[in-house]
Amino acid sequence: MIIVLKPNATPPEVDHVIDRIKELGLKAHVSQGEHRTIIGVIGDETKLSKEPLLAIAGVEQVLPIMKPFKLASREFNKKDSVVVVGGRVKVGGGHLGMIAGPCAIEGREILNEIAGEVKKAGANLLRGGAFKPRTSPYTFQGMGEEGLKILREVGDAHDMPVVTEVMDPRQVPLVEKWADMLQIGARNMQNFDLLKEVGQTRKAILLKRGMSATVKDLLMSAEYILSEGNQSVVLCERGVRSFEDSTRNMLDMSAVPNVKGMSHLPIIVDPSHATGRRDLIPPMALASVAAGADGVHIEVHSCPEKALSDGPQALLPPNYGKLMEQIRKVAEVMGKTF
């Protein structure tokens, strides 16, 4: 950590900062520049939290040098992690997790139809929401436990491990019972009690990036899960809020290689939620694989106009099939398989 003092910091102020550093068992390394005094702190940086230092008179800037996450960091694990979902589907390290399915579980028959189609096209993980985070209290909130059972049955019938969202720490035992991969939605990326709760399960976790979370924030949230002992975390870029008004969110494609530089965790992309537009899903899915993503999460619905949630961002099964053929070719160029 580096502490930059104000140009007019007094010697007692400088001494006071040095004393605080020494109190913590750290060493202070003082550089007297032309315009500023700079203090380098040597030792375990975590002993100093950034903020109280800034509150000391005479301090202008505090620049942390170390990244605030550890278990999620590339330094901690130089090799790409591979997360295994449902004991058989690998995500990461050259294996693409191709997640597909409707936004919400609406019934056994329709889910079964969609699952059959996406499986045939090459999807290896089935998604469907039983608990839906909706901005309005007046819209469909999901089928709950009944939906989870349907998802399990349909997944088993098609030999696909299943992914579903969990929104409330109290639901974790229930969702854990029925699903292979627990999704933490964007709105809950910093719901820290929920992160701790899923960190105590041994299920794979799909952690979506919050709508205004930096890449570092996302990795800090992954750290919450990892630090509880659950190492099976897959990150998901799903777009962030921006001023652009012709797409629902802005897909931050560079987050894919950016995360891979900082962390060993797999990262997939969800072009459905990122763009909110069916026409943009295929090009963004192809781009994701070319950018190095470890998978793609796509909403597929056989009758989007009757979907109870998010119809306009779902592909029809035949379009999904066509897209998967192209994805296969790009994946081959990138040396990846699914």
By CB under 8 A, the residues from 271 to 310 that bind a copy of itself are: 271, 274-275, 278-280, 283-284, 286-292, 304-307, 309-310
31 forms part of the interface with a copy of itself (CB under 8 A):
yes
| C-alpha dist (Å) from residue 51 to 6, 23, 192 | 16, 17, 20
24 forms part of the interface with a copy of itself (CB under 8 A):
no
Residue 73: DSSP 8-state? B
The token pair that represents 265 in the structure block: 């965790």
Let me know the angle formed at the C-alpha of 312 by 175 and 306, rounded to the nearest 5 degrees. 75
Which residue from 18, 56, 82, 174 is in contact with a copy of itself, where contact means CB under 8 A?
Answer: 56
Q: In the range 77-106, which residues lie near a copy of itself by CB under 8 A?
A: none
Which residue from 190, 231, 302, 319 is in contact with a copy of itself, where contact means CB under 8 A?
Answer: 190
Which residue from 119, 149, 152, 216 is in contact with a copy of itself, where contact means CB under 8 A?
Answer: 216
Q: What are phi and psi of 93, to 5 degrees?
A: 60, 35
CB of 161 to a copy of itself, least distance (A): 25
Q: In the range 222-261, which residues lie near a copy of itself by CB under 8 A?
A: 223-224, 227, 240-247, 250-258, 261
Q: In the range 129-158, which residues lie near a copy of itself by CB under 8 A?
A: 133-140
| C-alpha dist (Å) from residue 282 to 100, 102, 193, 306 | 13, 16, 36, 22
CB of 80 to a copy of itself, least distance (A): 14
Which residue from 43, 94, 144, 321 is in contact with a copy of itself, where contact means CB under 8 A?
Answer: 43
The token pair that represents 125 in the structure block: 């993980």
In angstroms, how far is the first alpha carbon of the chain from the final one? 43
The token pair that represents 182 in the structure block: 């627990």
